[in-house]
Structures are given as structure tokens and as C-alpha cells.
Structure 1
Amino acid sequence: MKAVIKTLCLVVGILSLGACSSWIYRIDIPQGNFLEQKDVDKLRVAMTKEQVTYVLGSPVASNAFDNDTWHYFYALKGGRGNNFEKQLIVEFKDDKLQDIKGDFDKSAEFSTPLDI
């Protein structure tokens, strides 16, 4: 009988240790386009869609009804609860880069086209 109680206590103890979430490894889950400010700084007004795709990659979301607005979004769900999100909205007019908005700064050279 004592062996059964000891075994039962051992099993309960091991199972309770498994419930300690601080000991469990949880992975980080990244989603979307990871962009850095140095990449956004390469953008210039009047760039073509192809040039923007070359610099930033393909957008995460595109609108079937408005092909002139591209959304770049990055989210990191940290395993320890530290979440991170950034977005960039790229607007075109007549298939040329018009403006950018979001969590990144425009470079000082953004308003200067590459052709000049």
C-alpha cells in the first residue's frame, strides 16, 4: 500500500511540474513582411510598382478593388507574451509611387525621384 501511495505522489508531482508554464518553451510566431527602416528609406516618389516590389517584396494584403494601395504588415507573437506589430501603407497613382504611411518614417530623399 505504501508503494502505491508513493507512486501516486510521484505521478502527481511530475504532472504538476509540467503545468509550470515558465518552464515550457514557446516559440515566436512571425507573420507578414519584416521591413526595416533602411529598406523604407530606399523608396522614392514616382517609383514603379515593380521597383517597390524589388525593394520591399510583395505586399501581405492587396485589395482586388483598389490595386493602388498596398499593405505591408508584420506581427510577431512572442512566446513569452511580448508582441510586436508594424505596418506600412504604400499608395500609387497611375502606377507610380505617390505616398507612404504607417509606422515608418519617410526618408528626407523620398520626394526626390530616382530619375533626377
Structure 2
Amino acid sequence: MQKHVQRLFFAISLLLLAGCQYFQFPGVYKIDIQQGNIVTQEMIDQLKPGMTKRQVRYVMGTPLIEDTFNPNRWDYYYSMAPGKGEPTKERISVYFEGDTLTSFSGDYTPNGAKSTPTPEQVPASDSEPATEFEAE
């Protein structure tokens, strides 16, 4: 009988510990978790057609993902999981032809840009249209 009580106590303890992930104890502080590149609207507004990869890296920072098989695409991804509240995710993909910026797609639109991509600018894997720059 003693052995069954110990097993039952152990099983209940495991269930309670597993539930701690979903239940917040009062007074327990949960940290904010940020991952990826912070991208702002001001950074997007600085992007201009014809910029080199080096200039884009200066404005946007080092991309989180540089695809080995497609060196003409850089991906910037940012996620924020606050201790309290809903998590947010943002992404932007920047496209080049050689060393020249041509377009981008994602959660931001530059001020004064139109969204009319050509088929070769949007990879088949992307569901969002690329943003093409207006000629100035």
C-alpha cells in the first residue's frame, strides 16, 4: 500500500509540474524573449533601388538567414514573446540581382512604394508579393 501511495504522489507531482507551463503563479516574473533582427519602418524607408548589398547590410543589419542556395535573397525575422501578452512575429525578405537591391516582401511597405512585382521577383515559395520601388 505504501508503494502505491508513493507512485500516486509522484504521478500527481509530475502532472502539477507539467501544468506550470500553462498556469502562472501570482508574483512570478516571466522575462521577455526577443529573437532575430529588429526591423523598423524607418529602416525600410531608407531602402532605395540600386543599393548594394553592403549598403543594405549597413541599414538593416546582418540578415538572420542568408540562403546558401539563393545568395540573392536575405531574410530578416523578429519574434517577441513577452512575459505577459501575445507574442508577435515580423519578417522581411530582401531580393537582389547580383549586388543590386531590386525588391523585398514581408510585413513592411516603404512609404511611396507600389506593390506590383514581376513573376521573376517573387520566388514560388513566397505567398506575399514583393514590393517594387517606384522610379524617382
Q: Do these two structures clear the TM 0.5 threshold for a shared fold by scoring above it?
A: yes
Task: Give 1:107 shift.
Answer: 2.6
Q: Identity rate of aligned residues, in percent?
A: 34
Residue 41 of structure 1: SS of its match in structure 2? Answer: helix
Q: Which runs of 5+ in 1 are unaligned?
A: 1-18
Q: What RMSD, in angstroms, separates the aligned Cα atoms of the two structures?
A: 1.7
Q: What is the match of residue 77 of structure 1?
A: 81
- How far, CA to CA, are the matches of 2:26 and 2:107 in structure 1? 32
Amino acid at match of 2:64: V
TM-score normalized by the length of structure 1: 0.75
Amino acid at match of 2:54: E
- How far, CA to CA, are the matches of 2:105 and 2:26 in structure 1? 38
Task: Give 1:20 shift.
Answer: 5.3
CA contact (8 A) 1:100 1:106 kept: no
Task: Give 1:82 shift.
Answer: 1.8
Task: Give 1:56 shift.
Answer: 0.4
Task: Give 1:22 shift.
Answer: 3.3
Measured against aligned partners, the alpha-carbon deviations of 1:35-73 in whole angstroms (never above 9, x if no partner) come to 110111000011000000000000001111111000000
Q: What is the match of residue 5 of structure 1?
A: none
Aligned length: 95
Q: What is the match of residue 103 of structure 2?
A: 99
Structure with more of its chain in strand, by fraction: 1
Measured against aligned partners, the alpha-carbon deviations of 1:4-40 in whole angstroms (never above 9, x if no partner) come to xxxxxxxxxxxxxxx8523210000000000110111
Higher normalized contact order (CA 8 Å, seq sep 6+, divided by chain length): 1
**Rg larger in 1 or in 2?**
1
The 5-angstrom pairing of residues 41-60 of structure 1 reads 41-60=45-64
Q: What is the match of residue 65 of structure 1?
A: 69
Q: What is the match of residue 21 of structure 1?
A: 25
- How far, CA to CA, are the matches of 2:57 and 2:75 in structure 1? 12
TM-score normalized by the length of structure 2: 0.64
